[in-house]
Amino acid sequence: MGLSSLDTSKAFFEHSIIPFNEANLSIASSAVLYGLSVYTVFPVCLSKDKQLVAFRLPEHFKRLLESARIIGMDDFEKNWHYTKFVKAIKELVAANNIKEDVFVRATVHVNEQVPGTKSRGLKNTLSIFI
């Protein structure tokens, strides 16, 4: 299932659900210029009892957190915890009215315009889309 077969017109960006086309980073951001981003991709599947279930979400969040920590994106861990992450995923799935198996991509970006590959102490942005 790709973007063309589903109405995935909403994305989570920074701290809220917004129209997908408005979830953008500057071409001069550290994420774009220096690749200072980490991501995880996981399926959200329809269970036998018609509930949407994210596959191994605690493990995916832990890997995202540890990846951000490894490259020095310390702002993410300060501002995000598992419960907040789950809430964002649930809100995004509901906003997009998902009723079938999908893949979700969550990315942490260094969203500042600074020269070089410095990552510590810089603002991070979380984006999530289906």
Per the DSSP assignment, residues forming a β-bridge with 97 are none
82-102 tens-digit pLDDT: 999 999 999 999 999 999 999
Per the DSSP assignment, residues forming a β-bridge with 44 are 54, 102
Least confident of 5-9, 52-56, 123-127: 5-9
What does the pLDDT read at residue 118? 79
Q: Please give the distance of CA 65 from its chain centroid, rounded to a whole number.
A: 11
What are the CA-CA distances from residue 96 to residues 38, 47, 83, 101, 102 (Å)? Answer: 24, 18, 20, 13, 11
Domain locations along the chain: 33-124
Q: Which CATH topology does 33-124 take?
A: D-amino Acid Aminotransferase; Chain A, domain 1 (3.30.470)
What does the pLDDT read at residue 5? 47
61-74 tens-digit pLDDT: 999 999 999 999 98
Query: Which one, of 22, 6, 15, lies nearest residue 126 by Cα?
Result: 15
Query: Which residues, at least 6 apart from 12, have a Cβ–Cβ distance to it below 8 Å?
Result: 18, 23, 88, 89, 91, 92, 126, 127, 128, 129
